[in-house]
Amino acid sequence: MPKPKAQLPWFGLMAALALFLLPEACIAGRRNKDCGFTLCGDVNISYPFRLTSQPRECGVRRLELECDSNNRTTLVMKYGRFYVQNISYVYHTIQVIDANLGRNDCSLPRSSFISDSICKTPYRASYHARSFMYLVNCTTPIKSSLYVDASRCPDRSFLPPTYFYFLDQQTKPRDFDQFCTVEARVPVELENISNVSTLDIYEKLLLGFELSWRYFDDHLLYCAEDKLQVM
Ligand SMILES: *[C@@H]1O[C@H](CO)[C@@H](O)[C@H](O)[C@H]1NC(C)=O
Ligand SMILES: *[C@@H]1O[C@H](CO)[C@@H](O)[C@H](O)[C@H]1NC(C)=O
Ligand SMILES: *[C@@H]1O[C@H](CO)[C@@H](O)[C@H](O)[C@H]1NC(C)=O
Ligand SMILES: *[C@@H]1O[C@H](CO)[C@@H](O)[C@H](O)[C@H]1NC(C)=O
Ligand SMILES: *[C@@H]1O[C@H](CO)[C@@H](O)[C@H](O)[C@H]1NC(C)=O
Ligand SMILES: *[C@@H]1O[C@H](CO)[C@@H](O)[C@H](O)[C@H]1NC(C)=O
């Protein structure tokens, strides 16, 4: 019985069309091999995740992580870098923390998490981390209860003078001061930041936040013009 043969021309045509029409990242296709686990620091990197240092065929490109020279697992996104604290392969979550943030220094959370098309980023804010705040940089001090001081080191001076504040995600456009620029959209596991002190905000930030990751077998995922189709 010559059954599978009849379907081959159709499949070949689809594959040729796919190769012709679709961006390279979305058709990485059959390369996604499970190469076993690898460790970066104490983070266990298993399929479908991969490290940049692994052979090309291992894991899924969209779930690529870097292992830096200090053995910190790093998630590099378009608007920021985050250190990975752990990955749950059971709950499909990943705990990350802004790579700019130090525990006992004057650093600011400068990385933004912005959900993109699933073809570009497989990460979504998880249930616990659906809130965020803005980090703004102002050329003049702002006296308003909406503006929470974002500096852990009040004496730190910038030239030209710069004042950093956190603004709640629900801040209305008219409450953005003309002397301020939004520097980052910072995820934080706080419902809102009204009446939360600067140090309490940093306590939360230093615990990181949780993202969910989705994984579709790449040859079932076709990404054309940013639209997702699972065939
Ligand atoms: C890493 O994770 C894989 C898959 O969950 C598991 O088989 C392996 O034992 C883990 N390795 C370590 C060192 O935890
Ligand atoms: C990183 O991990 C590797 C392998 O476990 C180890 O040989 C190396 O010394 C570590 N480097 C640092 C900076 O901790
Ligand atoms: C991941 O790390 C966070 C913060 O350290 C912790 O709350 C969470 O339980 C950890 N999850 C897993 C799966 O280890
Ligand atoms: C503050 O924002 C301005 C305008 O975007 C920028 O030029 C400047 O570098 C920022 N200052 C700091 C200290 O980030
Ligand atoms: C802010 O969050 C607290 C709980 O953390 C809640 O009681 C309060 O109603 C919230 N305020 C606004 C304006 O959402
Ligand atoms: C913040 O605290 C002040 C005084 O403790 C209180 O009057 C005010 O209603 C609080 N604001 C919010 C949004 O909870």
pLDDT digits (tens, 9 = 90+) for 114-159: 877 766 778 888 766 678 999 999 999 999 999 999 999 877 777 8
Ligand 5 centroid to Cα of residue 190, in Å, is 9
Residue 146 lies in a domain: no
- For the purposes of burial, counting CB atoms within 10 Å of the CB of 63, is it exposed (0-12), middle (13-18) or buried (19 or more)? buried
Residue 201 lies in a domain: yes
Residue 70 near ligand 2, beta carbon < 6 Å: yes
**Ligand 1 pocket, mutate which of 34, 35, 37, 51 (most atoms under 8 A from CB):** 37
Nearest CA to ligand 2 atom 6: 71
Residue 19 has pLDDT above 80, yes or no: no
Ligand 2 centroid to Cα of residue 148, in Å, is 40
Please give the tally of structural domains in the chain: 1
Ligand nearest, relative to CA of residue 43: 1
Residue 116 lies in a domain: yes
Ligand nearest, relative to CA of residue 92: 3
Mean pLDDT calculated for residue range 39-67: 94
Identify which of 227, 175, 203, 192 has the alpha carbon closest to the alpha carbon of residue 26: 227
Identify which of 196, 195, 142 has the alpha carbon closest to the alpha carbon of residue 165: 142
3-state SS class at 221: strand
Mean pLDDT calculated for residue range 183-210: 93
Residue 202 lies in a domain: yes
Q: What is the pLDDT of residue 10?
A: 46
Residue 99 lies in a domain: yes
Residue 181 lies in a domain: no
Q: Are 94 and 77 in contact (CB under 8 A)?
A: no
Ligand nearest, relative to CA of residue 193: 5
Q: What is the pLDDT of residue 221?
A: 56
Q: Name all residues whose Cβ lies below 6 A of ligand 4.
A: 137, 158, 162, 181
Residue 44 lies in a domain: yes
Residue 174 lies in a domain: no
Ligand 5 centroid to Cα of residue 77, in Å, is 30
Bigger pLDDT: 218 vs 126 = 126
pLDDT bracket for residue 200 (50, 70, 90): very high
Mean pLDDT calculated for residue range 172-193: 93
Q: Are 150 and 164 in contact (CB under 8 A)?
A: yes
**Residue range(s) defining the domain that contains residue 123:** 10-131+188-229
Share of the chain above pLDDT 70, in %: 76
Ligand 6 centroid to Cα of residue 199, in Å, is 17
Ligand 5 centroid to Cα of residue 5, in Å, is 63
